[in-house]
Amino acid sequence: MTQLEHAKKGNITSEMKIVSQQEKVKEGDLIERIARGEVIIPKNLRRSDLSVVGIGKGLRTKINTNIGTSPDLADIKYEIEKLKIAEKVGTDTVMDLSTGGDLDKIRRTIIKETHLPLGTVPIYQAAVESIAEEGNITRMNPDKIFEVIERQAEDGVDFMTVHCGLTLSSLERLKKEGRIDNIVSRGGAFLTTWMVFNERENPLYEQFDRLLELARKYDVTLSLGDGLRPGCIADSTDRAQIQELIILGELAQRALDAGVQVMIEGPGHIPFKEIEANILLEKKLCHNAPFYVLGPVVTDIAPGYDHITSAIGGSYAASVGADFLCYVTPGEHLRLPTIEDVREGVIAARIAAHVGDLSKNIKDAAEWDLKMAKSREKRNWKEQIDLSIDPEFARKMRDESKPKFKDVCTMCGEFCALKLVEKALKGEKPLILA
């Protein structure tokens, strides 16, 4: 039985117990939220030794790290290094988005190497194998998609992105809309190519029940992908995007009815002022299914800094209800991320998630800031460093610039405001004497 089926029956699973304790949410509340489809616990029934993670309403905002090869850079060791740094700096989940090299081997190595929930986008492998076997993506047999999904499920993949809402009718809407950047989703692009040349409906939509059956068998959480997410500010919140979201909402309901855990993927490139409306729309159209957003990236003009543009959008999105943030690295729009790109991307996403948690009044979120504020007042530098989101990096920065007095920093030196005022308010003469 899936976590959802258990919750519907009122059963508490060991995974629910863990999430309840981690998040300090009452077991009964958690079960209800899972049963309503507002919270998911992505864990393949075949997976053991998993660091269980709950995603959704009232829980800490989680973040995901994408790793994986491309045709241009297919080095499995390099990707494992990315996995390790992402784990070290605190990602909650990992997705293997490989499209280059031996895809089965890469995925199985990643599963062996991590205790974190693992996600994939099976259409990538279905497309890559079809190209290798049939000569072209357009010749892909729909059965190939489901065969790959089952192969990946058997390996223990916990959640899968499936672009089920990219239908012939949504593609028609896309064409009528007249976008600047039509489709920026790789999975969406593979499916579009196939659909256009075969003049056939998206198999993931047409055979959604078949997908549900597979997902239910392994308790694979479906991450309903947004193949039509806007790829630039000019295309944001357009008819094509919202059409796809409506369809995803319908499919999420079918998944919920079938006992299959589900979340919804969201944009993408969205200007700051449209973020709140986008979150509201997802929550309404998809009946509060957990929302998994990519960024949002709030401006197109900062390649090299898209960990920042997406931390801005992610902070806002999480503040108003997004549940799960996909990291974006500085390399986005420029290259496959490097190890350092991954590190910076994870930290930026964690900052955004925490900013959201402060807005959502998530348990212990404000407590963390309070501890830091108190150690600043005490000018306890060891504690400040230990409390930092990236202690190693904060320590390095401080060590590179040593102050004359150990209780301050080189920004103000002896003129430290906190130190001056502490003395003044105590009535002690300031130390600064000629």
Helix (H, G, I), strand (E, B) or coil at 64: strand
Q: What's the rounded Cα separation, in Å, for the pair 352 and 260?
A: 29
User: Measured from the CB of residue 234, what is the shortest distance to its own copies in angstroms?
Assistant: 5
Question: CB-wise, 217 or 395, nearer to its own copies?
Answer: 395
Place of tokens 């306890």: 380
- Beta strands 118-120 and 93-96: pairing type? parallel
- Other beta carbons within 10 angstroms of residue 174's beta carbon come to 24
Residue 196 sits in the site that holds its own copies (CB under 8 A): yes
Residue numbers 357-376 binding its own copies by CB under 8 A: 358-359, 366, 368-370, 372-374, 376
Question: CB-wise, 2 or 241, nearer to its own copies?
Answer: 241
CA atoms within 13 A on the CB side of 337: 29
Residue 403 sits in the site that holds its own copies (CB under 8 A): yes
Question: CB-wise, 12 or 73, nearer to its own copies?
Answer: 73
The answer to whether 41 and 19 are in contact (CB under 8 A) is yes
The answer to whether 228 and 240 are in contact (CB under 8 A) is yes
Residue 400 sits in the site that holds its own copies (CB under 8 A): yes
The answer to whether 95 and 69 are in contact (CB under 8 A) is no
Question: CB-wise, 1 or 409, nearer to its own copies?
Answer: 409
Cβ-proximal residues to 427 (8 Å cutoff; 6+ apart), any chain: none
Report DSSP letters for 149-212, one per residue: HHHHHHHT--EEEE-TT--HHHHHHHHHHT-SS----HHHHHHHHHHHHHT---HHHHTHHHHH
Residue numbers 1-20 binding its own copies by CB under 8 A: none
Residue 99 sits in the site that holds its own copies (CB under 8 A): yes
Residue numbers 23-82 binding its own copies by CB under 8 A: 70-73
The two tokens of residue 378 are 């005490």
- Other beta carbons within 10 angstroms of residue 406's beta carbon come to 9
Which member of 95, 162, 311, 326 binds its own copies (CB under 8 A)?
311
Question: CB-wise, 41 or 385, nearer to its own copies?
Answer: 385
Which member of 208, 332, 343, 346 binds its own copies (CB under 8 A)?
332
User: Measured from the CB of residue 190, what is the shortest distance to its own copies in angstroms?
Assistant: 7
Contact stretch for its own copies (CB under 8 A) within 28-36, 160-168, 200-208, 386-394: 386-394
Which member of 207, 253, 299, 380 binds its own copies (CB under 8 A)?
299
User: Measured from the CB of residue 311, what is the shortest distance to its own copies in angstroms?
Assistant: 5
Which member of 10, 28, 178, 303 binds its own copies (CB under 8 A)?
303
Residue 103 sits in the site that holds its own copies (CB under 8 A): no
Residue 328 sits in the site that holds its own copies (CB under 8 A): no
Residue numbers 232-291 binding its own copies by CB under 8 A: 232-235, 271-273
Cβ-proximal residues to 312 (8 Å cutoff; 6+ apart), any chain: 272, 298, 352
Residue 412 sits in the site that holds its own copies (CB under 8 A): yes
Question: CB-wise, 96 or 390, nearer to its own copies?
Answer: 390
Contact stretch for its own copies (CB under 8 A) within 111-119, 209-217, 246-254, 324-332: 324-332
Cβ-proximal residues to 350 (8 Å cutoff; 6+ apart), any chain: 63, 89, 90, 91, 389
The two tokens of residue 344 are 């910076």
| Residue spans of alpha helices (H) in 361-405 | 365-377, 381-387, 391-399
Question: What is the rounded radius of gyration, in angstroms, for the C-alpha atoms of the chain?
Answer: 23
Residue 116 sits in the site that holds its own copies (CB under 8 A): no
Residue 186 sits in the site that holds its own copies (CB under 8 A): yes
| Residue spans of alpha helices (H) in 36-102 | 76-88
Question: CB-wise, 3 or 98, nearer to its own copies?
Answer: 98
Question: CB-wise, 117 or 231, nearer to its own copies?
Answer: 231
Total number of residues that touch its own copies (CB under 8 A): 118
